[in-house]
Amino acid sequence: MDGALHLLTGLEAGGPTRVRVGADGTTYGDLRGAAAAVAPTLTGLTRVAVHAEPTLSTVVAVVGALRAGVAVVPVPPDSGVRERAHLLTDSGAQAWLGPAPDDDGGLPVVPVDLAARADTEPAVVDPSATALLLYTSGTTGLPKGVVLSRAAVVAGLDALADAWAWTADDVLAHGLPLFHVHGLVLGVLGVLRRGSGLHHVGRPRPEAYATAARDGATLFFGVPTVWSRIAESPDDARALRSARLLVSGSAALPVPVFERVAELTGHHVVERYGMSETLITVATRADAQPRAGWVGVPVAGVETRLRTEDGDDVPHDGDSVGRLEVRGATLFDGYLGNPDATARSWTDDGWFRTGDVAVVDEHGWHRIVGRESTDLIKSGGYRIGAGEVETVLLGHDAVRECAVVGEADDDLGQRIVAYVVPAGPVDDQESTAAELTAHVGEQLSAHKRPRAVRFVDSLPRNAMGKVQKTLLPGG
């Protein structure tokens, strides 16, 4: 497999297929011509930074660099001065490709001309060469650079095409950031590999998704926050009845949102699971019946397993919690310049430690409990998944959002604490807290009840909508 010639096969075919980002649109033929014109400007460069705003310029820059065989470092447009400086220094980026932020780190800027055209073929590049350097969220210390090869990207995108029956007949709509796996790798490169149309709606408002549906979009990506807002906007949600597939990722989709979207759109949202280090490893297939709270089965070319803290097998009984480990063609090559962190992430027999905990049922379906560091609560000798408690709380009418954590406790080791964003005014917090605690006790085992319920106005989230539990008081 030639990594360059086969990475964006749909785009290389050219043609009238449309790519739209915000108010700007182009055809495959013009996008390929603009990207080809980038190549001569990158002579002598091996790695470039892209200020990954949701613009057509970002798409042309990324595609142009990949066609030229140059690795791309997507830089979040909302990154602070310190984080941006770290990304530029750690990655070894030699220049900005396309518009740069005011604080450009002293790097030269290579402009991208959207009107320029060329007709050169993509460079011949080894499939093992680096395609992307994605930086982790940095919940502990500075973000680490995740090295993704061209071969891994191809394997990941082809596995999802198989799982979701994704073809050139689809038009993908989403409003996700263009510096992570979800929005950039799946949401742009996946489109250009399949030969699909793209409608990036800008800010992911319900009305924007509805407009995209009326314009012919068939495949929709969103994070749970997006689907929650769509569920609260019935008229916009009903416009999605014409869709073929709705996909949610980056965090767990609350069961009430899953059910409400299905009621309004006629579609059950399919979920999937992955990381920057692994791309998407588990997904609900388009030909399966989606299950609320479950993210599906391993995609083609990927294996998973559950292990105890001692390395023993965990039964696939749909209830037992274990450490999730994966291996396969979609995995990264390591953390850039950090061999110690890379080594810690792999088992002696070649499996990647995701840091997540999960359960698997007898049919191979996975349910992600969460991060081992924040979502596996050890209380009174029990191992409790925070996600299970959160799902039950979200089923109560008084709860809009919630996050469950384990806090240190002298008696229990950890006690379960729920942070709740109420669905409306709470006249008596003590009474409502008791009601929610009793609700969990009725639905789950008694030892899974929160020992404290704290009402908050909002939950801290990152750009992908994931709750940052470490930022909660006591989290």
CA dist 205 and 267 (Å) reads: 19
Name 47's Cβ contacts closer than 8 Å, sequence gap at least 6.
70, 71, 72, 73, 91, 92, 93, 94, 130, 133
The segments of the chain whose pLDDT lies below 70 read: 1-6, 137-141, 381, 463-465, 474-475
What is 270-372's CATH number, 3.90.1300.10, 3.40.30.10, 1.10.150.120, 2.30.38.10?
2.30.38.10
pLDDT at position 293: 86
Provide CATH 2.30.38.10 ranges for the chain.
270-372
Picking from 215, 214, 170, the residue whose alpha carbon sits closest to that of residue 193 is 170
3-state SS, the chain, equals CCCCCCCCHHHHCCCCCEEEECCEEEEHHHHHHHHHHHHHHHCCCCEEEEECCCCHHHHHHHHHHHHHCCEEEEECCCCCHHHHHHHHHHHCCCCEECCCCCCCCCCCEECCCCCCCCCCCCCCCCCCCEEEEEECCCCCCCCCEEEEEHHHHHHHHHHHHHHHCCCCCCEEEECCCCCCHHHHHHHHHHHHHHCCEEEECCCCCHHHHHHHHHCCCCEEEECHHHHHHHHCCHHHHHHHHHCCEEEECCCCCCHHHHHHHHHHHCCCCEEEEEECCCEEEEECCCCCCCCCCCCEEECCCEEEEEECCCCCECCCCCCCCEEEEEEECCCCCCECCCHHHHHHCECCCCCEEEEEEEEECCCCCEEEEEEHHHHEEEECCEEEEHHHHHHHHHCCCCEEEEEEEEEEECCCEEEEEEEEEECCCCCCHHHHHHHHHHHHHHHCCHHHCCCEEEECCCCCECCCCCECHHHCCCC
CA dist 159 and 328 (Å) reads: 11
pLDDT at position 137: 66
Residue with tokens 């796996």: 181
pLDDT at position 464: 58
pLDDT in tens, 26-79: 999 999 999 999 999 999 999 999 999 999 999 999 999 999 999 999 999 988
Provide CATH 3.40.50.12780 ranges for the chain.
9-202
Provide CATH 3.30.300.30 ranges for the chain.
380-471
pLDDT at position 475: 55
**At the top level of CATH, which class does the domain 380-471 belong to?**
alpha beta
| In this structure, CATH architecture of domain 9-202 | 3-Layer(aba) Sandwich (3.40)
pLDDT at position 465: 67
pLDDT at position 83: 84
pLDDT at position 140: 52
